[in-house]
Structure 1
Amino acid sequence: MAAKFVVVLAACVALSHSAMVRRDAPAGGNAFEEMEKHAKEFQKTFSEQFNSLVNSKNTQDFNKALKDGSDSVLQQLSAFSSSLQGAISDANGKAKEALEQARQNVEKTAEELRKAHPDVEKEANAFKDKLQAAVQTTVQESQKLAKEVASNMEETNKKLAPKIKQAYDDFVKHAEEVQKKLHEAATKQ
């Protein structure tokens, strides 16, 4: 999930930056600027709330929610990787290379999370760090992707923008659900 978020965020950043490159670019760039702004705020809020939840007194409930959340994050990372694969077939040049690199990094992040997954209850702190690192990696990949895609804005905007926006929206919705479940488990009396 975190890797998906990063890739989507990077794509959004790239699209919003590329919209600024040309003065005659369509006004549609504003949607990507809003998406980029939202992604930055979401990442900050997610990290802050996640860190505060780790100090929960309901350790058993929180660890279970963390394990369940990681299951759904892994599913979202797979879905995000599939979305990127679909976008790759519509892209060309540097945009295609950037999408492929982002997809590979998302899959690598998912694999690292998958390896840590069985030990969630035993090592919740280390797993928390891996989950947060996955979010950070995804954001960094999204920023790289955004820079690459920006150079091919017109074509990218027509073909990839709807796919990237949908993937981003799906990721954020899912991440908010996981965050809510973790919060409920941590504050359970």
Structure 2
Amino acid sequence: MKTEPTLSAAARVLARKLALPVAGFVLMAIPGAFAEERPVISTTSASADEIRAFCTNIADAARDQRYLIQKQELETLQKDVDERIKVLETRRAEYEDWLKRRNDFLKMAEGGLVEIYRKMKPDAAAAQLAEINPEIASAIVMKLPARQSSSILGEMPADKAALLTRIIAIAGKANTSKDPS
């Protein structure tokens, strides 16, 4: 007569069925459990002809790789040069703009107008220059000799003299970048 397996016998049967898959899973979790043995290649047994043949076979690929790296370096350098050219072009445009404005400013005071103020007394010149366009007045003052200009500015009201001095200072200063990079 057959007896039914007891609970402990059933547990043993189940344990046997699960033992192999669980052991395989545990071995897979351990690093290097299924690592392959790689053969060590000894270079001393290779003949000179074999070495020469290997080097000849990879020479084209190595040359192509070198050319690719050089091409990438040249492209990077070209980008840097292009960026620097843009900066230089911007600065050149700034300088040309400043030069044009300065020349236009100086042309305002050209001709006989400067001679008229040169021959006037400082107090009379100061009164008239205080009433005209500040840019024109500052251009005239700038064209006069320094001693006469200082006398005229000394005779003017302080706010008008300060305005003319500010315009003269701005006209003599370039607004280009000072950063050399």
TM-score by length of 1: 0.25
Q: Radius of gyration: which is bigger? A: 2
Bigger relative CO (Cα 8 Å, ≥ 6 apart): 1
Bigger share in helix: 1
